[in-house]
Amino acid sequence: MGALKETLRAVLNEEREKIKSLVSSHGDRTVDQVTLAQVFQGSRGIVSIFCDTSAVPPAKGLIVRGYPIGELAGKLPEDVFYLLLAGKLPTDAQRKNLQDEWAARNTVPDYVWKVVDALPQDTHPMTMLNTAVLCMQRESVFAKRYAEGMAKDEYWETTLEDALALTARLPAIAAYVYRRCFNKGPRLEGKPGLDWAGDYVQRLGFADPKGELTKLMRLYLVLHSDHGGGNVSANVAGTVNSALSDLYYALSAGLNGLAGPLHGLANQECLAWIQDLMEQFKGTPSVEQISKFAEETIAAKRVVPGYGHAVLRVTDPRFSAFVEFGKQHCPGDPVFKTALNVYEAVPKVLQKHPKIKNPWPNVDAVSGSLLHHYGLTEQNYYTVLFSLSRALGICAQAVHARGCGLPIVRPTALTYDELQDALKT
Ligand code: CMX
C-alpha cells in the first residue's frame, strides 16, 4: 500500500493541522444557529458535521474536491475514489497503483458466497449485499489491530486497509447478488486488466459488445460516489464509524440507510413509477397525461420518486449528466423519452404545491431508464448499484475522519419539556 498510504499520510497531516489551527483560532465563533422548527425538521440546514470530500451547495449541486460533478463525468470511478481520498485526481501511475491495490485484495472469502446462498432467493438485493458486507466484519484489520492495542495515530492506516479490501471486493459481491436474485446462472469471475466498472459488468454477465453499458456504469459509479456528509447514508456511516466501529459495520449501516425509498431506493421506485405511467397510457404518454398522473400520485399522499431534494434547489447536475448520456446513446428509447417528458411535466406540477421546496429532479429520476435500455431491467437491483458507488465516498470519508482524529458523534437531544425550558432563556 506504499504510494497511496504515503500520499494520504501527507494529506491527512496537513488536514489535521488545518483543523487544529482553525479550532484554536476561531473555536468560540458561531457558524450557525438552530431554530425550534429545525429540531422537528430532520436537522435540515443545521451545520454540525465536518466533511471535506465533497460539498452540495443548494444552487449548484455536487462539487467533489473542487470539481463540479459534471466535469468528472468522463472519469473512472477509481479516479474519483483517489480524488476523494487524496484531494487530487490521480496521475496514470497513481491510478494504476490503486487498481493494483484492489487487484491484490479482490478475492472474496468463500464463506461470503455461502452466506449469500443461504438467504432466500426473494430476499431484497440490498439485504443480500448488506448481509455480505456485515458478515465480512471478521476480516477487519482495524478491529484486529484495535484489539491488539493499536495506537490512535494508526487508526486511519488500518481503516484505509479495510476501505481498500471492501471496495476491492464489492463489485464481485454486488454482481453475484444480481446473478443469484435474478436466476442469471453461476457466479462469474472477472478478467484481469479491466477497470473497476468493466470488471463489474463482466461479472454481472452482460456481453456489452459496443462497450456502452460499461461506459454507463463508469458514469453511474462516478455520479453516485459522494454527496457531502449530511445525507442519510454518509451521515449514518460517519456516526457509526465515529464510535470506532470498523468500516464493515459503518458501511453496512450507511447502506442500510441508502435502502430507504426517500434516499437510494428512490431509483428503483422511479422506474416503477414510469412503467406504471406507460402502462396506464399504453405507450409514451404526453406531458399532459404525465401531469395528471403526478397529480394523482400526490393526491394519493405519495411522493413522485426522483423529484425533490432535502438540500438541492436546482436540477441535480447528476441528473443532467445522465440525460446527456441518454441523448447521445439512446435518444429514441421509449422509457428514456418518457423520463424526459416527466422532466417537462413534473416540476410544473410540484411547483403548484408550495410545501414542496424543490420541484426539480434528483439523480434518481432518469438513471433507471438508461439501465433498462441496456437490459438491466430488474429495478429492485438498482440501489445495489448506488451502494457500490456510494461505498467509495463512505470509505473515503471514514479514512479522513480517522485521520483527522474526529471524536465520537453525539448531538444533543431535548425532550418536549426541555425544549419549552430552552424557550424561556
Ligand atoms: N413528491 C411529492 N411530495 C413531495 C416531493 C415529491 N417528489 N418532495 C417533497 N414532497 C413533500 C414532502 O413529502 C413533504 O410533505 P409533508 O410535509 O406532507 O411531509 C413536503 O413536500 C416538504 O418536503 P421538502 O421539505 O420539500 O423535502 P424534504 O427535505 O422533507 O424531503 C425528499 C426530501 C428527497 C425526501 C423528498 O423530496 C422526496 O420524498 N422525494 C421523492 C423521493 C426521492 O426522490 N428521494 C431521493 C432523493 C435523492 C437521494 O437521496 O438519493
Q: For residues 170 and 231, state if they share a domain.
A: yes
Q: Which of 366, 143, 170 is nearest to 255 (CA)?
A: 170
Residues 309 and 315: their CA atoms lie apart, in Å, by 10
pLDDT in tens, 89-98: 999 999 999 9
Is the pLDDT at 1 greater than 70? The verdict is no
Q: For residues 74 and 13, state if they share a domain.
A: yes
Q: For residues 236 and 306, state if they share a domain.
A: no
Look at the pTM and tell me if it is higher than 0.75.
Answer: yes
Q: For residues 98 and 220, state if they share a domain.
A: yes
Which percentage of the chain shows pLDDT scores above 90? 97
Atom of ligand 1 nearest to the CA of 386: 51
* Segment 168-186 mean pLDDT: 98
Residues 352 and 359: their CA atoms lie apart, in Å, by 9
Instruction: Show the DSSP H helices in 182-258 as ranges.
Output: 196-204, 212-223, 232-242, 247-258
Q: For residues 19 and 163, state if they share a domain.
A: yes
> pLDDT value at position 192?
86
Residue 32 lies in a domain: no
Residue 378 lies in a domain: no
Is residue 364 within 6 Å of ligand 1 at its C-beta? yes
Candidates 195, 224, 364, 373; catalytic one? 364
User: What is the pLDDT confidence band of residue 421, given thresholds at 50, 70 and 90?
Assistant: very high
Q: For residues 250 and 331, state if they share a domain.
A: no
pLDDT in tens, 207-239: 999 999 999 999 999 999 999 999 999 999 999
Q: For residues 50 and 78, state if they share a domain.
A: yes
CA of 254 from ligand 1 middle (Å) equals 20
CA-nearest residue, atom 50 of ligand 1: 263
User: Is 364 one of the annotated active-site residues of the chain?
Assistant: yes
Q: For residues 144 and 12, state if they share a domain.
A: yes
The domain of 83 spans 1-26+43-262+384-420
Domain total for the chain?
Answer: 2
Residues forming beta bridges with residue 64, ordered by sequence position: 54, 67
CA-nearest residue, atom 10 of ligand 1: 356
Residue 31 lies in a domain: no
Q: For residues 14 and 109, state if they share a domain.
A: yes
Residues 18 and 15: their CA atoms lie apart, in Å, by 5
Q: For residues 58 and 203, state if they share a domain.
A: yes
Q: Cα–Cα distances in Å, from 205 out to 201, 257, 264, 364?
A: 6, 28, 24, 24
Q: Cα–Cα distances in Å, from 395 out to 131, 184, 232, 234, 247?
A: 18, 30, 15, 9, 7
Probe target for ligand 1 pocket from 258, 319, 342, 355, with the most ligand atoms within 8 Å of CB = 355
Helices 247-258 and 125-135: angle between axes, nearest 10 degrees: 170
> pLDDT value at position 355?
95
CA of 367 from ligand 1 middle (Å) equals 18
pLDDT in tens, 247-286: 999 999 999 999 999 999 998 899 999 999 999 999 899 9
Over the chain, what is the mean pLDDT?
96
Is residue 306 within 6 Å of ligand 1 at its C-beta? yes
pLDDT in tens, 25-66: 999 999 999 999 999 999 999 999 999 999 999 999 999 999
> pLDDT value at position 223?
98
User: What is the pLDDT confidence band of residue 360, given thresholds at 50, 70 and 90?
Assistant: very high
Residues 203 and 185: their CA atoms lie apart, in Å, by 11
Torsion of CA 212, 216, 218, 221, to 10 degrees: -160
Query: Residue 306 in contact with residue 296, Cβ under 8 Å?
Result: no
DSSP 8-class letter at 71? G
Q: For residues 352 and 402, state if they share a domain.
A: no
* CATH label of the domain that carries residue 78: 1.10.580.10
